[in-house]
Structure 1
């Protein structure tokens, strides 16, 4: 899968303990509307998706995460879109750096969204699925990043980069 970007929030050093996390992200478009997760705690928009479990195929993880976070049941994976690699500071389990690789896929959902099955921390963070105009989501995330709020996390950088890439590539010639 093509590399969209490699984000380096921390430069790994020889003495760092590095862990790897693989994730998938779903891109579901309907014209300029995109299916996103709004998280109240961070005041940001992100693509649905999450971590790949041990022994789980990327596409299996993508479908599982999309069902859990959106309640969608009739999902088709249309195509690979690209991946983003990240080096992030990490402060858990004696790990200094998290190398995260996010695989993104264009998807289609048929029918209505069901009831999401969010994890406890997702519910506590106020996560909710929404159809949003992609350009409004980009502007919103950019404003949050510009505000330098203490609650702003690093994920918003990846998510905004992905939204900008999707808008540029899929709304100016990508056929779904």
Structure 2
């Protein structure tokens, strides 16, 4: 898969950091003039649906599972690769200093009707909800959050970049 970008958090130095890698799958689902995104109330941002790949899963299997869990999507088909966004961030637990997140992004199709989501507890606590959104409105919203909110998470930079790259391909 083609590398879209490698992002390194400014606090990370290559010197003596210990790191681990987390593989994730992220879905790009387009319908008419909208894209299926997750809105997170806690961070006031939009992101592509998806998440971590479990042991024994392929990236595509994990992507399908995550897309179904987060959005209730049914009849999911992976249509093709979009690209890889790799990032290095500080890790908040004692076992490692750095997390290397590899986000594999794929175009997907789903049935028109979304079913019931199966969000994890922390996703529910953060106020995550699936929404069909105009991609330009989502980008503008994330940019306002980046400029004005102190609640933002580290993922908003990745997600805003990916949304802008998707627009370039449309």
SS at match of 2:61: helix
SS in 2 for 1:74: coil
List per-residue Cα deviations over 1:123-159 (Å, max 9, x = no partner). 0000000000000000000110011x22111100000
Contact 1:44 1:144 in 2 (8 A): yes
Q: Distance in 2 between matches of 1:76 and 1:6?
A: 27
**SS state at 2:92 partner:** coil
- Residue aligning to 2:150: 150
Listed one character per residue, the Cα deviations across residues 38-81 of structure 1 (whole Å, up to 9, x for unaligned) are 00000000000000011110110010001000111111111011
Cα distance in 2 between the residues matched to 1:144 and 1:102:
22
Where do 5+ consecutive residues of structure 1 fail to align?
172-176
Write the mapping of 1:158-173 to structure 2, written as runs, cut at 5 A: 158-169=158-169, 171=170
Quote the residue 1:121 is aligned against: 122
> Where do 1:56-95 residues align within 5 Å?
56-95=57-96
Give TM-score, length-normalised by structure 2: 0.96
Query: What residue in structure 2 maps to residue 51 of structure 1?
Result: 52
Contact 1:12 1:97 survives alignment (8 Å): no
Give the structure-1-normalised TM-score. Answer: 0.93
Residue 103 (structure 2) aligns with: 102
Shift of 1:110: 1.7
Which SS does the other structure have where 1:55 is aligned? coil
Structure 2, unaligned runs of 5 or more: none
For residues 105-130 of structure 1, what are the alpha-carbon distances to aligned partners after superposition, in whole Å with 9 as ceiling and x for unaligned? 00011231001000000000000000
Aligned to 2:135: 134
